[in-house]
Structure 1
């Protein structure tokens, strides 16, 4: 059962890796809102981390990379960095967790190192979940705030894109993966402590074969006192 949970964690972590790559590549973080004048113009605008895509009626979608990083709003600049960090963390987490599984040939003779690798992998998955959740929630908060801000014109208002929902689902998967691995680590350590305690108690009870046990004899002085 424990091996199955570890395999499940690796599968969820792999899906989480694909999710982080997808949200970093998709240009649908913010999409145009069809309200007010935009309903008549019928144009569609997608804004992602690396490019914007624009399409009008009967015109194919055209995408263009951002001209300058400094021209981006702060939430998109932070999202670029955090999504890259999240991808790197997930990759490292999968490698470390693979070394810590029971079926792995890495550190096969060192159970303690496997337990440490499993705990480290779970912790890195939790960090990757946080690194994914922060930019997605930040961008979503900015979109909702500007949407209900009367000072912002209708043409500049945006709606939540598909990448944000994928990001929330990916963050949940990475969180579940980290919790499973840390749970496995706690089960392993508790079992190891019980086994170590039983082993020490057995060693205390069993006499060593090479040891010599001599019976206790009365001293000669005690014999003289009895004679007197």
Structure 2
């Protein structure tokens, strides 16, 4: 496998893993909309863990959600998926670091290292899928409430935390796909048969050739 592809895939996976760590504590997963409001004295914003408010003087007040079981189902699922994304990304980074050719941790068995690197690519893909499902599900509920004319509560818009999550998921999936397919093609090439293989039934010996030449010479001497 091309070492450049390995390094690029590893960098994409690492960048996606860092962005997941940035997206989880980001406070602006959704922000209150100003659509239809003439005067706004405060701005509300939430993430997976807390709800905050900012008044016109710039004072921030945040309150953590008091109960996990009292939260909406999609919010609990988004929490679990984001945590799983961090764990899967950690496994992917470790496997990719061991499996790339420029790392000597796995020895000189490049076929085994390729399989380990491909496993890291699978972890990156799973990380990206978990992140994309989490942020997309969260965004779907925001838009559903926003366009619902009879929704009585505060309406929100998409925050920057969701965009960071989408970017993270895209990078993770791209890096994982590159790593998996590059390692797969490298493994298949190493297992392909040699283009020319002589028949095993015929064995040529140097001693036998010398005996044949000697017998021919002896016959010619008596002619």
TM tier, smaller: 0.7 to 0.9
Q: Distance in 2 between matches of 1:19 and 1:44?
A: 25
Q: Distance in 2 between matches of 1:183 and 1:54?
A: 47
Q: Distance in 2 between matches of 1:204 and 1:126?
A: 46
Alpha carbons 2:89, 2:124 under 8 Å: kept: yes
* TM-score, scaled relative to structure 2: 0.85
In structure 2, the CA distance between the partners of 1:51 and 1:173, relative to structure 1 (3 Å rule), is same
Instruction: Tell me the equivalent position of 1:190.
Output: 188
Q: Distance in 2 between matches of 1:100 and 1:120?
A: 9
Q: Distance in 1 between matches of 2:49 and 2:112?
A: 40
Instruction: Tell me the equivalent position of 1:71.
Output: 70
In structure 2, the CA distance between the partners of 1:43 and 1:192, relative to structure 1 (3 Å rule), is same
- 1:155-206 per-position Cα deviation (integer Å, ceiling 9, x unaligned): 5111111111111111110010011101211221122023xx2188369599
Where do 5+ consecutive residues of structure 2 fail to align?
A: 210-223
Alpha carbons 2:139, 2:162 under 8 Å: kept: yes
1:119 aligned onto 2:118 = yes
By how many angstroms is 1:66 displaced?
1.3
Alpha carbons 2:34, 2:40 under 8 Å: kept: no
Higher percent of residues as helix: 1
Q: Distance in 1 between matches of 2:91 and 2:202?
A: 46
In structure 2, the CA distance between the partners of 1:17 and 1:202, relative to structure 1 (3 Å rule), is farther
> In angstroms, what is the RMSD of aligned CA positions?
2.8
Instruction: Tell me the equivalent position of 1:130.
Output: 129
In structure 2, the CA distance between the partners of 1:113 and 1:40, relative to structure 1 (3 Å rule), is same
- Across the two proteins, how many residue pairs are aligned to each other? 212
Q: Distance in 2 between matches of 1:203 and 1:100?
A: 37
